[in-house]
Amino acid sequence: MTVSTTALDAVDLGDPGTFADDALDLDTYWRTLRDTAPVHWNPPADGRKGFWVLSRYDDIMAVYRDDVNFTSERGNVLVTLLGGGDAGAGRMLAVTDGHRHHELRKILHRVLSPRVLDEVARAVRVNTRQLIREAVASGGCDFAEEIASRIPMTTISNLLGVPEEDRDHLLAQTKAALSTDDDDIDEVDSEMARNEILMYFMDLVEERRAAPGDDVISMLIGSSIDGVPLSDEDVVLNCYSLIIGGDETSRLTMIDCVRTLAARPEEWQRLKQGEVAVDTAVDEVLRWASPTMHFGRSVVRETELHGVRLRPGEIVTLWHASGNRDERVFERPGAFDLGRTPNKHLAFGYGPHFCVGSYLAKVEIAELLTALRDFTTGFEQTAESLPIRSNFLTGFSTLPVRFHPDHSGRKEVDR
């Protein structure tokens, strides 16, 4: 089954409502784009500018590698690209290129490397196992609200030194900023939530300048690039990036993971019985969930792709949601296969902007899978999930589940 050219043009990827439309078969849409229009023009609509859409894995990878013809410094997601640019350009890692990006990335790698994060990983393990134990003992819960919302936010908040009493507030703001499930929250509300996060970290930076600690904010305050200390704005913008990236994507991936496994007991049994390694399963969970549907670039030099001329100033969007299902790269891409290998998914991007938090995200998902394997014999979804409303992230904000406890002896041993 394919979608006609007219139907392709009728799908507006800039509209968050598109991804909440149950009547729209996006799998078929993406497959048709990959086969017939790998460089597709999403026309202007409702006051939004038009933009190019790349759907094939290899094309997405090519643009990620190319920092000559494309830039991140005018924004890297539709909400900022279509809004005319990103206020953090040249200061926030995700929307900075060239030498400054390289130097800023080195600073963040110092606190986000596997060696440094060993202690953080141990805390993730303890926290995750405790949450799963409690949920199993109670029989069930809203997994999204009571577990997935707490693991990543706790982890990134510990790194940034965010007090426990402020974390629920920050979680509410990150949801409103990018992944709301409330139709009444519009772009103005989302912008206000993003500003609220920035103002919160501005206050925290002032506190850390007066009384430094051993957290990431204090480390950023003490860092410099080419002999010039990072400004308050530099620190705040990168804290914003870390809290958004460290919470949203991991949380949505965890929710999708449990929802998908509940619907596929045969895959759950492969994990439960040790037929597939947890690390291998993590990569398939990431490929399947693809919580970040796209990233974007702006054309800085005229170039050509599949015979289509891309001109300076135009927006090009790279759709992980399609690339991670590309039949040219993944065998049976529509199958959720925890044993899939190789699995070079795009969940963390690629190239110079490969996600600096990828190790931590994998640790969180691995510990979730391990705890579920150790403490449960299985689980089931007990009511419908509520999808989020976004043109950037995909997933669900609720997931009612019932857990079936595993009474074997080894589950009580925290490793």
Handedness of CA 344, 348, 353, 357 (dihedral sign): negative
Please report where in the chains the tokens 């049994």 appear, as a residue.
Answer: 269
Residue from 246, 273, 267 nearest 171 by CA = 246
pLDDT band at 171 (very low <50, low <70, confident <90, very high): confident
What is residue 2's predicted lDDT score, i.e. its pLDDT? 52
- Judge contact between 369 and 257, C-beta under 8 A: yes
Backbone angles phi, psi at 413, to 5 degrees: -90, 115
Q: Which residues are CB-contacts of 144 (< 8 A; sequence separation ≥ 6)?
A: 251, 255, 385, 396, 397, 398, 399
* pLDDT tens digits, one per residue of 189-204: 878 888 999 999 999 9
What is residue 389's predicted lDDT score, i.e. its pLDDT? 85
pLDDT band at 260 (very low <50, low <70, confident <90, very high): very high
* pLDDT tens digits, one per residue of 225-238: 999 999 999 999 99
Can you tell me whether residue 200 is helix, strand or coil? helix
What is residue 239's predicted lDDT score, i.e. its pLDDT? 93
The full set of domains in the chain, from first to last, is 5-412 (1.10.630.10)
What is residue 162's predicted lDDT score, i.e. its pLDDT? 93
Handedness of CA 130, 138, 171, 318 (dihedral sign): positive
Q: What is the value of pTM for the model shown? A: 0.93
C-alpha span between 413 and 374 (Å, rounded) = 9
pLDDT band at 1 (very low <50, low <70, confident <90, very high): very low
* pLDDT tens digits, one per residue of 91-118: 999 999 999 999 999 999 987 877 778 8
